[in-house]
Amino acid sequence: MTGKFHLEEMLLKDYDDSEDRDGISGARLAKRLGELSKIGLTEDKGSKRPGFSLEEQEAKELVKSWMREAGLEVRQDGAGNVFGRLAGKDDSLPAVLSGSHVDSVPNGGHFDGPLGVLSALEVAEAWKEAGFQPNKPYEVVIFSDEEGSRFHGGFNGSEAMMGEIDIEEKKKQSDSEGRSFTEVVKDVGLSPESFLEAKRNLEEIDMFVEVHIEQGKRLEKENLPCGIVTGIAGPSFLELTFTGKAGHAGNTPMNDRQDPLVAASEFIFQVNQLPGKISDSAVATVGKMHVDPNGVNVIPGKVAVFVDIRDIAESTRDTLLSQVEGLANSISGKHGIELESEEKMRITPVPIGEEVQHQLEQAVESNGIRPYRLPSGAGHDAMIIGTKLPIAMLFVKSKDGVSHNPAEWSDLNDCVKTVHVLKTFLEGKVKEA
């Protein structure tokens, strides 16, 4: 390992311990983030805990031990999801769940996922110290394989809990080493069949609350520790193929060309202008393209462009999708280029209820923080759960918006302030009859 890495010390360096109140401990949160950072630590001082790896399971086992210390009853389901339960005064009521995940991308950071799990656990620790028992049961959750870096498709744990996993499709998948899904999950004591057993009776769940780093710069620009998520964008991936006529770069006059790359380039430039005309939260990104034959002295014959289109409302996302296709048709016609369009994916956006946002706003204000609402452009386990159950999300300020990278960082003061907001919000929910 190149040099020493002490996440706990780094977090505590500039921590204001006046934030330690009402049973919440910044030192404990820092220590636990530090302990988790040691599992799967990379040469770049990042995190490597792929879904269903021994490292992910080791992290789960460590958090399980902390759950037990906090007085929670711990169980793991057939998808590897972990639940630490605090019984309610009326334990027959639906439970309030809060948590996230502990897996990571191959060389990720130390906050994406673990902060949400440990924030939820910190609330349970505070309640234990105060001798507080909620009216409704409360569960701290670790979902398996949120990132999906192993099989290029995440949310396996939350999808299994919701009964939305297509296990026959999963069994066809293999990782970069050629190992099948069945072989990989067997490493951590699971099987495709056990995933089907993870489906939960949704009547047992009142709502799910997730704390997550922002992975953007809005909160940093506002100089706020945390923000209220208004919804989780549903992505639609569009493949547009511009087909022209390949030719020699030297012998084909400029006025006798059908160059699909010129058309694709004009499209890429103009598509950037569309989202802002539709909504403040809409985005469109061209992040991948193929040029054929891709020779330095050849006019391309075909160019495939992949567009990622997102918004937190289905109506505006679909409007943007339609306008992107319309733009591509218009430009291809102008250049005498053929166009093929294929939608590769369309996931329904998940808006967060206005009443829930209002309750989060009250929790934020009661902790002396200016409320600020912002959308989530990235997917989270809350997105899977939110298709059928109420959800709430809080974002924590990210330094420079960096994520999925060893440089990922959230200041401990911001993290603890967010835990206080989470605790305030949860206390309102678990006291409900």
Query: Phi and psi dihedrals of 158, rounded to 5?
Result: -65, -35
* Residue showing tokens 């979902």: 143
CA of 207: how far to CAs of 66, 210, 261, 377, 378, in Å?
Answer: 23, 10, 48, 21, 20
Among the ranges given (1-5, 286-290, 373-377), the one the predictor scored with the smallest mean pLDDT: 1-5
144 with 56: CB under 8 angstroms?
yes
Q: How do 226-232 and 391-396 pair as beta strands?
A: antiparallel
Rounded Cα–Cα distance for residues 116 and 99 (Å)? 5
Residue 1: predicted pLDDT: 41
Pick from 28-42, 145-159, 404-418: least confident = 145-159
Q: What is the dihedral of CA 404, 107, 384, 200, to 10 degrees?
A: -150
Asked whether the beta carbons of 207 and 350 are under 8 A apart, the reply is no
Q: Report pLDDT digits (tens) over 234-248.
A: 889 999 999 999 999
Which tens digits make up the pLDDT trace of 381-396?
A: 999 999 999 999 999 9
**Average per-residue pLDDT in the chain?**
96
16 pLDDT tier (thresholds 50, 70, 90): very high
> Which residues, in sequence order, are CB contacts of 397 under 8 Å at separation 6+?
213, 214, 219, 220, 224, 225, 226, 227, 410, 411, 414
Q: Are strands 247-248 and 298-299 parallel, antiparallel or unpaired?
A: antiparallel
Q: What is the pLDDT of residue 3?
A: 61
211-220 per-position pLDDT tens digit: 999 999 999 9
> CATH number of the domain at 7-232+349-430, please?
3.40.630.10
CA distances to 4, 11, 54 from 45, rounded to whole Å, are 9, 15, 19
Rounded to an integer, the average pLDDT of 363-369 is 98
Matching CATH topology for 7-232+349-430 and 234-346? no
The top-level CATH class assigned to 234-346 is alpha beta
Q: Where are the domains of the chain?
A: 7-232+349-430, 234-346
The pLDDT tens digits of the residues spanning 40-96 come to: 999 999 999 999 999 999 999 999 999 999 999 999 999 999 999 999 999 999 999
Q: Which residues pair with 75 in a beta bridge?
A: 83
Quickly count: other Cβ atoms within 10 Å of residue 133's Cβ: 14
Averaged pLDDT, 180-203: 97
- Res 370: pLDDT: 98
Q: Is the pLDDT of residue 2 over 50?
A: no
Sorting pLDDT into bands at 50, 70 and 90, what band is 368? very high
Number of neighbouring beta carbons within 10 Å of residue 405 = 16
| pLDDT interval class at 151 (50, 70, 90) | confident
pTM (predicted TM-score): 0.90
